[in-house]
Amino acid sequence: MNGNSTSSDWDGRYFHVDQILDKAGPRTDESFVPGDQVKDFLRNNCKILVIGAGGLGCEILANLALSGFKDIHVIDMDTIDISNLNRQFLFRQKDVGKPKALVAAEFIMNRVPGVKVTPYYGKIQDKDEDYYMQFNLVVCGLDSVEARRWINATLVNMVDPENPESLKPLIDGGTEGFKGQARVILPTVSSCYECSLDMLNKPTAFPICTIANTPRLPEHCIEWASVLEWPRVYGDKKLDTDDPEHIGWLYDVASKRAKEFKIEGVTWSLTQGVVKNIIPAIASTNAIIAASCCNEAFKIATSSAAYLNNYFMLIGTEGVYSYTFEHERRKECPVCGGESLDISIRKDWTVERLIEMLVEKQDIQIKKPSLSTPTKQIYFQAPPQLEQATRPNLEKKVSELVEEGGEITVTASTLPFNLSLRITYT
C-alpha cells in the first residue's frame, strides 16, 4: 500500500496516517486527490521549516516526524539549559550547554528512521529570502514577539504576485503558562501576526513608583534591582539576562531590599524569571498547541481536510476552554495592510512634483504626505527639524533618490494606513 516507501519504511508504518490520505472525507478540499501522489509529496518532496527548538519546538519536531514529514529544517539560537529538561524532551542532562537545534535534529533522526532534520544554530535574521523560499511551509514555536514579527514581515514581503510558490503558509504557535494559541497565516491572504499585535498580553509591568517606594511583592524588589539600581550603579552598561554574574548581582540587591521591607520569596530563579520575563512553561499546554500546529501543517501540506481559519485559542487557567475564530486583516496593518500603487513617472520629476501628484490624486485623498525609502527619509512634513533637513530633497529628482522599481513609504494623517509606491520611470 505504501506506494512511496523508502528503505527505512516498514509494513504498516503509515497505516493510520494513510487512512486519511487514501480516501477523501466529507470535509476534504476539492482539489484533494487521494493516493500515492499526495503521499509522495508529503514524504519525499515537502520541505518544512520549524522555527524554535524549545518547549513547543521539541513537540512540533516529534509530531511532524511521526506524521510523515521527512525533510525538516530547524532553526534555534539557544543552547540547552538544565531548566529545560523537564519538558524539552529531546534533550538530556549530557546535552546541557549544546545548541538546541543540533541536539534536537540528532535526536529525531536517531529515533525516527528516514527523517532528515537539518539544523541551523543561529538567528532567523541570519537567513535571507532565498533561504526561506526553499520551504513549502513554516511552523513557528517561538517565545519572542520580536522574532515572530520579523518572520511574519519577511514572509509577507516575500509574496511575489508573479510567483505562486512565493506564498509560504505560516503556522504560528505560542504558549504562556496555561494559555496558548495556534494560528494559520496565509501571507497577504489572511490576517498576519502584525494585524493582531494589539491582542497580545503585554508583559506585566509594575508602576515605577510602586517599585521605588512601596514594594509589596518579591517581583517589586527584583524590578527595583534591574530597572532602577542596575542603571544607577552601572550607567550605560547593558544588563545581560543570560549572564549568571549579572543575575547574581540582581539577586543580591533584590534580596537586601526584600529583607528591608520584610518581603519573602526572592529567589535566584524568580529573579531570572522576572528579568527575562519568563512565565512558567506548562508542558501540556505546549503539547496541545504543538499538536494543533502540526495538524494544520499536515492538512495544508496534503489538503486532506479543511484547515484552521484562522485563530485557535486555548485557555486552561480555569478548566479547559478553547475558541476558534477568524481574525480579520487590518486595513492599516503596517505589514500586510495599507495600499500599494505602481507609479510611473518621468525621470526628471522632482520630489515636489511627485508630492503634488499624490495630493491631486482623487482616489487616495492624501494631504501633507511624508515620504521615505526603506533606508532614508525623502521628505518629512514634521517635526520642524526634520522638515528642514529634508526640504532640500524637494528640488531633487526622484530618480536621484529612488532606483527603478524602488519603493517609497508614504504616511499622512489623512491616511489611516500607510501607502507604498513602487516607482518606475518612463
Partner 1 sequence: MLKIWSMKKNEDAAAKKKPKTSAAQIRVQKDLTELDLPSTMQTHFPDPADLLNFTLKITPDEGMYKGGVFTFSFNINPNYPHEPPKVKCVPKIYHPNVDLEGNVCLNILREDWKPVLNLNSVMVGLQYLFLEPNADDPLNKEAAEELKKNRDQFLYHVKSSMRGGYIKGEQYDSVAQ
Residue with cell string 535534529: 105
The nearer residue to partner 1, 205 or 320, going by C-beta atoms, is 205
Query: Are residues 53 and 104 in contact, defined by beta-carbon separation less than 8 angstroms?
Result: yes
Q: Which of 209, 294, 333, 336 is catalytic?
A: 209
Q: What whole-number distance in Å separates Cα of residue 106 and Cα of residue 90?
A: 9
Among 1, 8, 40, 160, binds partner 1 (CB under 8 A): 160
Provide, rounded to whole angstroms, the least separation between the CB of residue 108 and partner 1. Answer: 22
Q: What whole-number distance in Å separates Cα of residue 391 and Cα of residue 401?
A: 14
Query: Are residues 170 and 278 in contact, defined by beta-carbon separation less than 8 angstroms?
Result: no
47 binds, among Zn ion, partner 1, none (CB under 5 to 8 A by kind): none
Largest separation between any pair of C-alpha atoms in the chain: 75
192 binds, among partner 1, Zn ion, none (CB under 5 to 8 A by kind): Zn ion
Q: What whole-number distance in Å separates Cα of residue 340 and Cα of residue 337?
A: 9
The letter for the amino acid at 237 is: K
Task: Centre a 10 Å sphere on the Cβ of residue 86 and count the other Cβ atoms it contains.
Answer: 10
Cα angle at 141 between 136 and 143, to 5 degrees? Answer: 140
Among 1, 33, 133, 189, binds partner 1 (CB under 8 A): 189
300 binding partner 1? (CB under 8 A): yes
Q: What whole-number distance in Å separates Cα of residue 199 and Cα of residue 399?
A: 41
Q: What whole-number distance in Å separates Cα of residue 180 and Cα of residue 286?
A: 8
Within 354-393, the residues that bind partner 1 by CB under 8 A are: 370, 372-374, 376-377, 380-386, 389
Provide, rounded to whole angstroms, the least separation between the CB of residue 279 and partner 1. Answer: 16
Contact flags string 41-80 toward partner 1, x per CB under 8 A: x----x----------------------------------
348 binding partner 1? (CB under 8 A): no
Task: Decide: helix, strand or coil at residue 260.
Answer: helix
Residue 230's φ and ψ, nearest 5 degrees, are -55, -55
Number of residues that bind partner 1 (CB under 8 A): 72
The nearer residue to Zn ion, 99 or 187, going by C-beta atoms, is 187
198 binding partner 1? (CB under 8 A): yes
The nearer residue to partner 1, 107 or 298, going by C-beta atoms, is 298
Task: Centre a 10 Å sphere on the Cβ of residue 374 and count the other Cβ atoms it contains.
Answer: 9
Residue 278's φ and ψ, nearest 5 degrees, are -90, 125
Within 192-231, the residues that bind Zn ion by CB under 5 A are: 192, 194-195
200 binds, among Zn ion, partner 1, none (CB under 5 to 8 A by kind): partner 1
Per the annotation, the verdict on 209 as an active-site residue is yes
170 binding Zn ion? (CB under 5 A): no
Among 161, 264, 318, 363, binds partner 1 (CB under 8 A): 161
Catalytic residues: 209
Question: Which residues contact Zn ion (rule: CB under 5 A)?
Answer: 192, 194-195, 333, 335-336
